[in-house]
Amino acid sequence: MSQLPGKRILLVIGGGVAAYKTLDLIRRLLERGAFVRAVMTAAAHHFVTPLSVASLSGEQVFADLFALTSEATMGHIELSRDADLVVVAPATADLLAKMAHGLADDLASTLLLATDKKILVAPAMNLRMWLAKPTQRNIAALQGDGVIFEGPQNGDMACGEYGPGRMSEPLEIVAAIEAALATDTVLPLPEGFARPSTAALKGRRVIVTSGPTHEPIDPVRYIGNRSSGKQGHAIAAAAREAGAEVTLVSGPVALADPWGVTTIHVETAREMQQAVEQALPADIFVGAAAVADWRVVEAAPEKIKKGAKNPPSLALVENPDILAAIGRRKRDRPALVAGFAAETDRLIEHAEAKRLSKGCDIIVANHVGAGANVFGGDRNEVTLISAAGRESWPNLTKTEVAARLVAAFAKKLSEARQ
């Protein structure tokens, strides 16, 4: 049985002639149900193009360690750890040397140093480079560190020589990837943690909003909320794992886009509303974003300077209520509309009132007062409130909360069809 369905593979493409094989490798991994996200070294661009890699993988290709947009939205540390396995193909002599000595002067070598996941390498180089004593010392060091080697094979090389140094074929690398994933230790699930089946939402369309919105005051300052987006992103990932087609509308967050999810990045509440409207129709809408309630009537075109006797006054206007607009929708309303109520007091009372006023089927209530550590934290303690009653869950990780929520959504939709 394949180990690949739903697995997230981070593929580091090195600069060698064998890089052309990575295009077929990506295709083979996708055929088996894996998700592939690629990082290319500068040298790799000479052999394959980012456009061809992105077109095959369906994911953004990363290359620049200091790319402002990528670092702002996720960062190389997040990229290095948001995978089940890191694969380096072709693993050139230069990349192996950097890995062995802990060098980190570009995105590929930095994430290889920062990752906490298994690394599998598929070497490719001239046979003299492979047999060179420095390379052999590096190989021994990496094997001692637990790096998995697939190949190289004996064969004809682009330079005209024959011998060890030819990169393994894509299907051989796929087999090695499956073997590497099969040896992972499977930890028992926490008590009461029910993971939805991979077909629980098959054929369903899900829209999730996540993170804060930033409403500009001037080009430098904004009105916003403290949301990290961790809970919303976890829900989007869990829905995808349950077989749904997922659109995630995300405000500004420092998180990686979930694998296999269509992610739309927005900044303001009005941009989020427009993106949600364009993503409809859907079977499920989950409003997990902490949308700013107000925005400045007119943002200043230039930075507001200090120095005046009185601080500037800000004229505010209410932002659109995205959750209410979806919940009260008469045409193409999702079959299930779920929202979040982040409250500092009278949690259940305020959450129930929100469910009724917004037209939601489910409200997920959580306490965000002092000491709760929900905003930015990795854990959450929620109460589900619906017309059928309420259900309180223990303190769980946000990933566990997301899996439970998706299972609850799937159950509710199934019951509605009966």
Please report, for residues 366, 372, 392, the alpha-carbon distance to residue 382 in angstroms, rounded to integers and kept in the order given.
5, 11, 6
- C-alpha–C-alpha distance, residues 319 and 268, integer Å: 9
Query: What amino acid is encoded at 55 in this protein?
Result: S
Report whether 293 belongs to an annotated binding site: yes
Closest to 100 in 3D by CA, of 129, 140, 128:
140
Q: Is 50 labelled a binding residue?
A: no
**Marked catalytic residue, from 67, 158, 159, 353:** 159
Annotated binding-site residue? 384 = no
159 catalytic? Reply is yes
Residue 340 in marked binding region? yes
354 marked ligand binding residue:
yes
Is 212 annotated to bind a ligand? Reply is no
Contacts 24+ apart (CB under 8 A), 24-29: 24/170, 25/89, 25/170, 25/173, 25/174, 26/53, 26/56, 26/57, 27/56, 27/170, 28/170, 28/171, 28/174, 29/4, 29/174, 29/177
Question: For residue 298, what are the contacts with CB-CB under 8 A and spacing of at least 6?
Answer: 315
Q: Given CA atoms 104, 107, 111, 114 in this order, what sign does their dihedral have?
A: positive
Q: Which residues are catalytic?
A: 159
Q: Extract the annotated binding site for CTP.
A: 293, 303, 320-323, 340, 354, 358
Q: Extract the annotated binding site.
A: 293, 303, 320-323, 340, 354, 358
